[in-house]
Amino acid sequence: MGSKIIYEIKNLTHSYGKGPQTLDIDYLKICEGSVTGLVGPNGSGKSTLLRILAFLEPYTGGSLSFEECSDTSADVVDIRKKVTYLLQNSYLLKRSVFENIAYGLRLRNETEDLTERVHDSLERVGLSPKKFAQRPWYRLSGGEVQRVALAARLALHPKVLILDEPTANVDESSALLVKNAAVSAWKEWGTTVIVATHDLAWLTEVSTDIISLYRGRIVGHGTENLVHGPWIRENGSVVRELSDGQKIHALSSGREDHSAVVINPSDISVHRIPSGPVTEMNILKGTVTSMTLERATGCALISVQVGDIVLKSRMTVDKMKEDMISPASEVILTFSPENVRWI
């Protein structure tokens, strides 16, 4: 697994028919063997981007290259063999679990060791082949359907696995099995995984890059804090009042359409008890809700509930231990309005 680029996007735009622009991406590269997370509010363009990356949706402008080949229309059939895509609500073919998983392999004439591959895929998603292989499609729970659908993709040993909110409609134990199965493909076969999910804690742990989308644009790499309005003008600055009355101060952008901001977690400091007087303009009280080890940086990412929003702060593990920050700690967040960026 190196840093060979598998996808490269330049000035890509997309709209549905004559509708408004849904995507406008200046540049994006995805490396082979990486785990890329895609986050963003509803309607920000995650599914559209994933369908474009799966070559299921044409784009309107710009370019997309796959394995250094930019004229992807020429070998879309070939590419589809390498790229598999799993939806939030998968459906199965009206046949047994075994035949559902075997289907893709039969299509590709990869029927050597068929039973073994089907059974291995079932085990990867936590379904016992003995119990499930001969089950008909209609005797499965929603979570099992999703896992069989994933097993059918995994059986192909895909080069790229694209997952669109794969755990949105399944319970926690199925979700964990789906996530572990995706990670196992990445570990064993070097599968490039691209996943849209709201499960930020998991993404932080496993991903090498997180792309944050907002209104069709990439607004940050990594787990940027995104804070929506309403923003109001107050004594020369622009503020967002939180549900508990605390305020986030930003510098005026000079425009009237103040809508949303991003704040890099590295720009937010967390203090258990401030060691001296705090001079930052933004001083917010909150409670630590979760802490994760961020794979991409090796740092701790601390999520803090402040009023109605959650802000994440990045700090070294040593500093975190030194300051005795742990879940449920009451903490104080400080950051400068200059680090609150309009998007």
Ligand X SMILES: Nc1ncnc2c1ncn2[C@@H]1O[C@H](COP(=O)(O)OP(=O)(O)OP(=O)(O)O)[C@@H](O)[C@H]1O
Footprint on this chain of Mg ion (rule: CB under 5 A): 46-47
Residue 192 DSSP SS3: strand
28: Cβ contacts below 8 Å, ≥ 6 apart: 7, 8, 9, 12, 211, 218
Q: Tell me, by CB under 6 A, how many residues bind ligand X.
A: 11
Closest contact distance (angstroms) between CB of 46 and ligand X is 3
Q: Which is nearer to Mg ion, 125 or 196 (CB)?
A: 196
Q: How far is the CB of 200 from ligand X (least distance, A)?
A: 13
Bond from prior residue into 230 cis (ω within 30 degrees of 0): yes
Q: Which is nearer to ligand X, 43 or 136 (CB)?
A: 43
User: Are 343 and 289 a contacting pair, CB within 8 Å?
Assistant: no
* 118-148 core/surface letters (b: 16 or more CB in 10 A; e: else): bbebbebbbbebeebbebebeebeebbbbbb
CA distance 149 to 92: 7
> To the nearest whole angstrom, how small is the minimum distance from the Cβ of residue 26 to ligand X?
18
Q: Which residue is nearest to Mg ion (CB)?
A: 47
- Type of residue found at 270: V
Q: Which does 223 bind (CB under 5 to 8 A by kind): ligand X, Mg ion, none?
A: none
* 46 versus 153: smaller Cβ distance to ligand X: 46
Q: Tokens 């991409």 sit at which residue?
A: 296
Q: Which does 36 bind (CB under 5 to 8 A by kind): Mg ion, ligand X, none?
A: none
Tell the smallest beta-carbon distance from residue 44 to Mg ion (Å). Answer: 9
Alpha-carbon Rg for the chain, nearest whole angstrom, is: 22
CB of 197 to Mg ion, least distance (A): 10
Q: CB under 5 to 8 A by kind: which of ligand X, Mg ion, none does 42 bind?
A: ligand X
DSSP-derived secondary structure for 81-115: HHEEEE-SS----SSBHHHHHHHHHHHTT--TTHH
Map the footprint of ligand X across residues 10-69, applying CB under 6 A: 16, 19, 22, 40, 42-48
Q: Least CB distance from residue 314 to ligand X, whole Å?
A: 25
Residue placing its CB nearer to Mg ion in the complex, 46 or 215: 46
Comparing CB distances to ligand X, the nearer of 86 and 332 is 86
Question: In one letter, which amino acid is 102?
Answer: A
Task: Give the residue with the Cβ less far from ligand X, 216 or 307.
Answer: 216
Helices (H), ranges, 135-227? 142-154, 172-189, 200-206
Partner in contact with 44, chosen from Mg ion, ligand X, none, beta carbon below 5 to 8 Å by kind: ligand X
Contact positions vs ligand X (CB under 6 A): 16, 19, 22, 40, 42-48
